[in-house]
Structure 1
Amino acid sequence: MKLQNATLFITGANRGIGLAFAREALARGARKVYAGARDPSSVTLPGVEPVALDVNDDEQVAAAARRCGDVTLVINNAGIAAFGGFLADGGVESARRQMETNYFGPLRVTRAFAPVLAANGGGAVLNVLSVASWISSPTLAVYGASKSAAWSLTNGLRIDLRAQGTQVLGLHMGFVDTDMTQGIAMPKTSPLDVVRRAFDALEAGAEEVLGDELTQHVKRGLSVEPGIYLQDARA
């Protein structure tokens, strides 16, 4: 799918990676960019159209799909991350919150926009995933589980949407230099670099893209013995 003259709907587009997606889409000649955010007033990028959107709110998601009937590319970017493991205090509640946004959010949005994409020739869905889909550590264990679920969702949606000609691209990446990762002392990739790789892959017709060297290393480790996913990611 080409970005030139495309119409995008980006969730969580007011900051971080979502904002970088919006900027780069405009730079590549997108015709229109809808920027979904819980607080539309926080969307300040010139040239985009703010849309009130909480991906956990069925009515807001449905309203967005009705309003944005010309969309050809949906980017499921909105997500949350909370530190902690499964056995920590509040682990179950944390899992519910993160699954609601990181798994059910993309599911809601894709279900709502699938008929829109079909009506506009098929288009594409880009799901923002994580290297934490494949490896775990006590710090990001619960978050990683939500992203593993989102990865599985992405693979299932790819099959479901193939018949209507919709490309589904999963973007896996490690730590990106955004406000979400400010408290993590690890090497980080710039949002623009990740977004450019994702858009290059999208335009090449790919179904999966690895956004940085860390993720490429981890992907290779999935098939070794013992698998990299059997280890604590801190090791």
Structure 2
Amino acid sequence: MGNVATALAKAFGQLGDPAILRILAKSFAITLGVFVSLAWALSLSLPWLLGGYLDLEGDVYIVIGTLLALTSAWFVFRIVAIAVLQFFADEVVAAVEARHYPHTARHARKLPFREDLANSLKGAGRALGYNALALPIALVLVFTAIGPAVIFLLVNAVLLGRELTDMGWLRYRPDRAETTPVRPVERLALGAAVAGLMLIPFINLLAPIIGAAAGTHMVHSRMKNAQS
């Protein structure tokens, strides 16, 4: 687990990097835009959905739509944030490599936009699918209070561990069949750490960038060990 802790420490240490700050600003703006759009869509659709049952003022529907969007944000933030980050994954990896691994970075390939988009959609699809499969189990455990939280934490730890290490590995893999050299237990530990950070207000806005940077450090550490 020392590899995970070291990678996270390095990731936190680079948060002040101008390149990382630019990526953070872009990903935050798009993520915020997604949820603002969701609130707007809900406020427009609620009168049509509820108009036959409730006689409310237009402003009330806007308030209800905003509250529903904020509630949904709590549940789907991880999915949206990681999907958005996938678009900038190449930039995060490049920023980390420019500072820590400039010689290795010369052998990396730049992912085309089409591949970035495909990876983003695949990641979001996996997140939605796994969380949907976990939902019935969470509902069964709802009376245990902590059960649902544990289930979703485990599911998202597995998902995040894979996505965050893949971001660094995709630039180096010799072919599509090659899987990340980072060990499963390390991926799980990284995913759990980032999933935990995503539960903390304000820190959750930084968590995807921290996770992607840490995942890149872990990939490079394993590649270096494999070469020695």
Name the TM-score class by shorter chain.
Answer: under 0.3
Give the alignment's TM-score, normalised by structure 1. Answer: 0.25
Give the alignment's TM-score, normalised by structure 2. Answer: 0.26
Name which one, 1 or 2, has greater alpha-carbon Rg. Answer: 2
Q: Relative to total residues, which structure has the larger strand share, 1 or 2?
A: 1
